[in-house]
Amino acid sequence: MSILQNELTHLIFLAEVVIASRKKEVMEDTLQCLLYIIKSLPEVEVPDSVAEQIAHLTERIEEKLRQENERIQEIQGNLGRLTKPNSIA
């Protein structure tokens, strides 16, 4: 099955609206649509400037996920210390 250019253009428009308006309630659906398209392609030819932007955004995503993971581990560590009974030395 093929997705026509006008359907892709409409999806691009919707994704831009979601991003610009910070419509969090539909971000997951938007990402899922874009993910399906990306997964269906073996490779994509993009201009160098786009590839650079993608690389920059990828780095930002990875960094934010790492920071979030570190923060969660810190919180879990603190909670673990709170739930352990105090030992008398």
State yes or no: pLDDT of 81 exceeds 90: no
pLDDT at site 86: 63
State yes or no: pLDDT of 84 exceeds 80: no
State yes or no: pLDDT of 57 exceeds 80: yes
pTM of the predicted model, to two decimals? Answer: 0.69
Q: How far is CA 19 from CA 15, 29, 30, 88, in A?
A: 6, 12, 10, 55
**Helix, strand or coil for residue 84?**
coil
pLDDT at site 89: 54
Looking at the chain, list the stretches that DSSP marks H as alpha helix, in order from N- to C-terminal side: 5-21, 24-39, 48-83
Mean pLDDT of 48-61: 95
Token output for 55: 């690389």
Task: State the number of CA atoms in the 13 A half-sphere of 66 facing the CB.
Answer: 6
| pLDDT per position as a tens digit, 5-38 | 999 999 999 999 999 999 999 999 999 999 999 9
